[in-house]
A and B are shown apart, each in its own frame.
Chain A
Amino acid sequence: LAKTTQPISMDSYEGQEVNITCSHNNIATNDYITWYQQFPSQGPRFIIQGYKTKVTNEVASLFIPADRKSSTLSLPRVSLSDTAVYYCLVGDSYGGSQGNLIFGKGTKLSVKP
């Protein structure tokens, strides 16, 4: 199982760009990289998923270098409502290994006014 390592916490201010990096040195060929966001007392919410290079959606961007041993979630112009825990997960995207997703401790992002 590919293990991930990310910072325990980060602080930012409103309007800044926030980059959270995740290390996954043992990522397998079939593994995708997925990021989730979780607010207190709620279930995690999918943010973005990628395999390699760069992926962008309306919420965030995901940068993945060629060796895929790390990834960076980029949140443009954060607001107070982006204060949450962000999880980086690595796992197989196809069928039978549904249970091999491991949520780590995540990165607690605190956005200040």
Chain B
Amino acid sequence: ETGVTQTPRHLVMGMTNKKSLKCEQHLGHNAMYWYKQSAKKPLELMFVYNFKEQTENNSVPSRFSPECPNSSHLFLHLHTLQPEDSALYLCASSQATVEQFFGPGTRLTVL
């Protein structure tokens, strides 16, 4: 248990659906991250938020829309995804250090 929770743990959605992934941390951290990990690929950093402000967007398609309403919560809104978007989506948080605390991830399958 790292102090970072993610819901749902598994999600199956069609290409026309809209869904959201939720991440919550109770560690008092000021930075939160979304990563994507496809099968047999390294983790890809998607978004970074520092003090609720987005500071990184690594050329992520607009069908992924992040939201950070406060320092403890991070969402990833999904809309009209493609099958190649199926992956493990990981949330992490940190407090101005290199050590990031990761959640368990959401296994997403797009049909």
Contacts and interface: CB of A to CB of B under 8 A. Distances in A.
User: Is the contact region of chain A dominated by helix, strand, or loop, or is it mixed?
Assistant: loop
B42 A42 contact: no
A36 to B, nearest CB: 8
A87 to B, nearest CB: 8
Given A41-B105, A42-B105, A43-B105, A94 B92 contact: no
Contacts of A94: 96
A102 interface: yes
B44 to A, nearest CB: 8
Interface residues of B, number: 30
B45 interface: yes
B27 interface: no
Interface residues of A, number: 25
Interface string B48-69: 1010000110100000000000
Contacts of B4: 43
Contacts of A87: 43
